[in-house]
Amino acid sequence: MEAAAPRSSRFPGTLRHAASVLLGVALVAGAASSCSSGGDERLTIYSGRNQELIEPLLEEFSADTGIGIDVRYGDSADLALLIDEEGEQSPADVFLSQSPGSMGYLDSKGRVQALGDTVLDLVPGRFRADDGHWVGVSGRVRVLVYNPDLVSEDDLPASIFDVTGPQFRGQLGVAPENASFQDFVTAMRDVEGEARTKEWLDGLVANDVKTYANNLAIVEAVARGEIEYGLVNDYYLSELQAQDPDLEARNYYFPEGDLGSLILETTAGVLDTASDPAQAERLIEYLLSKKAQRFYADETFEYPLARGVASDPDKPRLSSITSPTIDLSSLGDGLIKTRQLIADSGLR
């Protein structure tokens, strides 16, 4: 459940405008909420993870180490823009991004430091940046959630590109302001090219796609029959079904290497403004500990990414999910362009 940014900061025309608007709204509306604990040593964390999904781990880290924490929560992409705008004056030591694209954006700006081998070796190579500047700490898969009372399995699409067909008119929900959706669109641009991606986005709009604030709202809409399908991350359905096992929705994983089943990571990196990089790295190492990784698997229903930690046996193994090979660190290069492309399509 990604933290929602103020509507006034959505889809910026320029980097400076987006960051300035976000900062102004944050100071006025309290979007820059924080929590703190611990002693004299402190870390400032900018977190694109929703507070309830990360705060328990941060509090345990502080209690275990005696290092105090201060956290600014917000949308991952907007926080990345804000960090870049703040430059050398940024108070941030660590960036926790809901998606690899926002982290990749900062890395492309030279704002993320290299991590030590001790941390990097905790994660398989496919779940860390090629330059060693960030690691994935949990994973999720893009899926098509559907209502089995309204949809036959025979009607499920073979490809993500099929959802713009007439049989899906008015039946599909998306969250265009969601970081994972934006990363997915950037990946589509990388794999399929700008023209086909624009055609797909325009096709969604022409097909009367329904838009929602976030993934959770889409799954809830599918379950109550408001729409038949939705493009979301896999773990939202697991979270809702833990509360209501009878929830009428299922996840569909696109087959045979289709881009629709793209694997995305929550990422962590040490910023160039970190006052004590070793201390900041200590937090990331903690997030990759077995204790923290079990939290992701058992409490947030995501895939743990550290070596030797098993995922939920009721979910498909990550190794069984095939999608086009993409350098996730490259997603950040297209952050601004992707947001503009989505806005130009009329999705909002």
What average pLDDT does this structure show over 191-206?
Answer: 96
Given a cut of 90, whether residue 160 has pLDDT beyond it is: yes
Given a cut of 70, whether residue 20 has pLDDT beyond it is: no
pLDDT tens digit sequence for 245-270: 999 999 999 998 899 999 999 999 99
Asked if 173 contacts 222 with a C-beta cutoff of 8 angstroms, the reply is yes
pLDDT for position 223: 97
Band (pLDDT 50/70/90 cuts) for residue 7 is very low
Q: Of 123-127, 148-152, 219-223, where does mean pLDDT reach its minimum?
A: 123-127
Given a cut of 70, whether residue 124 has pLDDT beyond it is: yes
Band (pLDDT 50/70/90 cuts) for residue 85 is very high
Domain with CATH 3.40.190.10 in the chain: 7-139+263-315, 140-262
Given a cut of 80, whether residue 38 has pLDDT beyond it is: no
- Supply 106's token pair: 């900062």
Q: What integer best gives the mean pLDDT of the chain? A: 87
Angle, CA 56 vertex, CA 291 and CA 297 arms, to 5°: 45
Domain 140-262, CATH class in plain words: alpha beta
The 10 Å Cβ neighbour count of residue 27 is 10
The domain made up of 7-139+263-315 has a fold known as: D-Maltodextrin-Binding Protein; domain 2 (3.40.190)
What average pLDDT does this structure show over 30-57?
Answer: 76
